[in-house]
Structure 1
């Protein structure tokens, strides 16, 4: 067996059936063997960074390690933003990157690939020799699982046609739940919770597997539930779910959070957007539960922290409350949930001719989009209204590509998600600048792959965040304005179906197109740049 065959076989040994990538001279034979002999699905992208983003989304949604491949040099540098997004999001994936032969230092595409990867926060694994190829693949996959970040496996091109004997290597990752805490820290945490009169429970995406236990604790305390942005939808069906905690809360929910005297936070690092830079934690006891010690006090120093499994800890707290016969707080009885969760309705008459009111369009889309949707969002000034007004079935059905603050990543994430949930529609909200940057590159990929994808482009003909800054300083925003082409026409030209929405009537046409779609659909919302809601973060 040749090395390129051994690498492909190693992926099959692990049961990986989907790989995203772009072929070049350093990985094309491996990809070919993976498809023709291994029976794997290869998703060819238009831009290398897209492969990483798709693999990140596919891995996160499927619960497995995402797999991507690119060739060497500029192919890898084109992945820097995507790798950083994955590293900051703590998403396990492996990028199989070719590398220039050591014997060819004058190759135009030769760079120090280890140093390139290091700046992103991703891990680097060097394929050491032809004989260790399968071991090195397995070890990279293992590292991705336990380190919870992308790992780049560096594959020298001069190894590929060397003959070896393939050995199967699959290393198990030991991910047993962390221990239940005990001792002084637990005593202090239980004491704070037991004495609270207005406790509130906050959960992040790190607690996604503990919904039942956390809900049981909330019911025992009669405490409302809230989530971080990444965990949006986690408690959607609970009667005392106040939705997103922090700067994205409704004004009434923000006031209710401010009145709380204890926050019990599970699986979150307490980012400053969540805490409103600490303002929402003032005059409160804060108990933080996280199974990763480096996430504790990363952004905010709690009064007590328990490095432990969320579900086991929630159950343990309930046991001690019952053992001590601590009465429920009664906080939920003070709350009017209809008021706490209501966002102001959009006004269709507010829009100028040729535009549609953004809030009204979102309200209509919320009721018209498929109920079993998987929701994804890009970055941009439009996004906070989307997060607040567009729901998702649960926390596992939502991804916001915002870990690095980049725009132009959303469509790639949506496509990767589609391969993980092929029986469900994927909905992406993106801005005009983000779609120009990364969406046009890959919309045809969704067409070629026949995905059930609905893309809503918020087109205000501007880079919105910069537009606002110019206006706030009474300056001419002209440099932030762009006369973009019609995204709806581009979508149609790329093989999908596009609809322009510039009135209430055309919005209804778009909604009918949702119901009759048989190919990737793009809905272009034409927005007045001076009438787009401000970001809430």
Structure 2
């Protein structure tokens, strides 16, 4: 008979899990015992934070929960930051951890890796956290954790299941096949009809698309065309309707985009959190009230926290398709494309010169590697892209500079994305400061020969924080940490690596790195883009 740890791993394989991320320890031996026979690929990061960020990147590429295995105590606390990032972004993740043997739980008597209450520690960042005390409850526990990670509680996010050391080694009942996933929630029929009526009656409708619409592009495009409605994209929606004349790939924090939304007489907000980092990046309080607001979101609680609106509690794809069917196949001829172009062109013209110059790096990456996802950290080109950037397709622009806003995300998240889909290069774009948070994960790229191109934007410190300090009249302190020779460090791991001093050489260097197929690092001195003006 299999142990609880072995049966848990078998169940992951039955759910289609192809890879897990973790650092083995004496407290997870029983989880690892079943891995060799499961067919599941194990990827070893250099830190549990890396494991969590890799699971995040994997989930963004697949739409399925990324799975991380961590030990009791420090392994669990090390992954809290990635869990916080995943919760802020609605990314499905499953964290499996050990915990102390049942006889030691809550005793606080110096046991190895002890926390006063481990489940309570993780509960503040998890969408759900459970402790399995009896092998008989294993099937129910894993079903619940998987469903909660996928959004059964309203919104997807990190779910946690911990198993005491003694329970992991006990015989386990053979689990039934995983249940079929719950169907995505559909909108209430009467509310749907009212929403369709309002949109059809509007003279100047607009759509505000958030990250919840990422996997509903076809239905979104069809509805936008039927309404002749510009589609404003928050950061997590970038790449939807790429190249379409109705797409507005610019931030609602910018004046011209806000003007478009303020002029609309009906606004359909789909999968949009209405968070400050999307709508009020500069915290100026200038985001306008929206007339005729209709919200589509699968999380009723999130709708309740936002502005007053006609609410469709439903999956974005289901609701958009239903609205499109209610409106019929006709296409309204109007000024939608003109309004979209005016907002997009105005947003680009409103960029500060430094952001406009940094944006050229992003556009060079996109134009050179049009199908490559870009995973960004909090750094100048990413801030510029979050203001204005037309990604090449859905899911090809992801970063950690909004919401929870952690540093060190880009490199390991890109690694996780490459594990999920190694058929194309993945670009990790990070600053010299942020990259040092997880620099050791270059070793994972080398171990796994992942097609990740790390682009380092080197402006010699925390330039954004330095600028903010000066703007507040404070003398900058602590904003110029030293950095290693990134090219030498990458080469020491066996990666292809070089410094790109001439911006005109960047496309050729990117193509060469992509054609080589393995991991690479390209360092771009910010001064090479900004010149003396930087």
TM-score by length of 1: 0.86
Tell me if 1:158 matches 2:166.
yes
Task: Kindly provide the CA deviation profile for residues 312-349 of structure 1, in whole angstroms up to 9, marking residues without a partner as x.
Answer: 444554555569x9x9471226447388348469999x
Structure 2 segments unaligned to the other structure (5+ residues): none
Q: Is the 8 A contact 1:142 1:172 kept in 2?
A: no
Q: How does 1:76-475 map to 2 (within 5 A)?
A: 76-104=76-104, 105-111=109-115, 112-133=117-138, 135-145=140-150, 146-147=152-153, 148-162=156-170, 164-172=171-179, 174-183=181-190, 185-186=191-192, 188-247=194-253, 252-276=256-280, 279-282=286-289, 284-298=291-305, 300-318=306-324, 321=327, 328=332, 330-332=334-336, 334-335=338-339, 337=341, 340-341=344-345, 343=348, 358-368=358-368, 370-387=369-386, 391-401=390-400, 402-438=402-438, 440-475=439-474
**C-alpha distance 505-338 of structure 1, shift in aligned 2 (>3 A):** same
**C-alpha distance 279-306 of structure 1, shift in aligned 2 (>3 A):** farther
**Alpha-carbon distance in 1 for matches of 2:251, 2:483:** 36
**Alpha-carbon distance in 1 for matches of 2:143, 2:322:** 37
**Alpha-carbon distance in 2 for matches of 1:357, 1:396:** 24
**Alpha-carbon distance in 2 for matches of 1:346, 1:524:** 25
Q: Secondary structure at the match of 1:302?
A: coil
What's the offset of the Cα at 1:461? Answer: 1.0
Q: How does 1:510-525 map to 2 (within 5 A)?
A: 510-511=509-510, 513-525=512-524
**Alpha-carbon distance in 2 for matches of 1:330, 1:242:** 16
Q: Is the 8 A contact 2:132 2:164 kept in 1?
A: yes
Number of matched pairs: 518
What's the offset of the Cα at 1:467? Answer: 0.6
Task: Kindly provide the CA deviation profile for residues 142-177 of structure 1, in whole angstroms up to 9, marking residues without a partner as x.
Answer: 332323222221121223443x25412344254324
What's the offset of the Cα at 1:475? Answer: 4.5
What's the offset of the Cα at 1:529? Answer: 11
TM-score by length of 2: 0.86
Structure 1 segments unaligned to the other structure (5+ residues): none
**C-alpha distance 519-345 of structure 1, shift in aligned 2 (>3 A):** farther
Tell me if 1:25 matches 2:26.
yes
Q: Is the 8 A contact 2:198 2:266 kept in 1?
A: yes
Q: Secondary structure at the match of 2:20?
A: strand
CA-based RMSD: 3.3
Instruction: Tell me which residue corresponds to 1:484.
Output: 483
Task: Kindly provide the CA deviation profile for residues 60-85 of structure 1, in whole angstroms up to 9, marking residues without a partner as x.
Answer: 32122221101111111111111111
**Alpha-carbon distance in 1 for matches of 2:212, 2:72:** 34
Task: Kindly provide the CA deviation profile for residues 157-198 of structure 1, in whole angstroms up to 9, marking residues without a partner as x.
Answer: 223443x25412344254324334333x45653453234222
**Alpha-carbon distance in 1 for matches of 2:287, 2:462:** 30
**C-alpha distance 305-336 of structure 1, shift in aligned 2 (>3 A):** closer
Q: Is the 8 A contact 2:503 2:529 kept in 1?
A: no
**Alpha-carbon distance in 2 for matches of 1:92, 1:103:** 32
**Alpha-carbon distance in 2 for matches of 1:120, 1:515:** 37
What's the offset of the Cα at 1:413? Answer: 1.0
**C-alpha distance 29-53 of structure 1, shift in aligned 2 (>3 A):** same
Q: Is the 8 A contact 1:142 1:173 kept in 2?
A: no
What's the offset of the Cα at 1:221? Answer: 1.9
